[in-house]
Structure 1
Amino acid sequence: MQIDSFEDELRVIRISRLQVMLGLSRSTIYERIKPGSKWFDSDFPKPFKIGSFAVGWDLREIRAFIELKKQEGR
């Protein structure tokens, strides 16, 4: 399978990059994905394991989430 553009590839971002992209603190991000939290957001992309102790997020899912929130805000 040939990939037509770099954007089609899976790109994993770590929490520090996610914080910059969303303007949210580390603790707020984790509150957004924690069911039962008053800040829980079922639309917020879930992290996935990339190592024994490391997690990452799919950049495409983060971009889609940002676009969704932009549309909801209009």
Structure 2
Amino acid sequence: MNATPVVASASGLELSPADRLIRMPDVEAMTGLARPTVYKRLKDDPTFPKPVPLSNSKSRGAPVGWVFAEVQAWVRQRIALREVAA
């Protein structure tokens, strides 16, 4: 049986990695990239995960999150590319 990993939240809800949103400090920690580099990747790298708006605001600085599973997959892809290049 292949169970989907579940993450417990502070509210007691259980979310799968595909449903869990993370914020910038988590993206920085998972990718090893600094905040400005994350935004540069968003602009220049079509494979980098796109943020999810957390409000209806379109202004600069409006809150965003990233899908945990998408960031995780991007990191795994980078690791796989390293192994291919070696």
Q: TM-score range with shorter-chain normalisation?
A: 0.7 to 0.9
Deviation of 1:21 after TM superposition, in Å, equals 1.2
* Deviation >3 Å, runs of 4+: none
With normalisation by structure 1, the TM-score equals 0.79
Q: Which amino acid aligns with 1:43?
A: T
Query: Structure 1 residues 4 and 27, CA, compared in 2 at 3 Å: closer, same or farther?
Result: closer
Q: CA RMSD in A?
A: 1.9
Q: Distance in 2 between matches of 1:17 and 1:62?
A: 10
Give the equivalent residue in structure 2 for 1:6.
6
With normalisation by structure 2, the TM-score equals 0.69
SS at structure 2 position matched to 1:33: helix
Give the equivalent residue in structure 2 for 1:60.
69
How many pairs align? 67
| Structure 2 residue 37 is the aligned partner of structure 1 residue 33 | no
SS at structure 2 position matched to 1:45: coil
Q: Distance in 2 between matches of 1:48 and 1:12?
A: 8
Between structure 1 and structure 2, the one with the greater Rg is 2
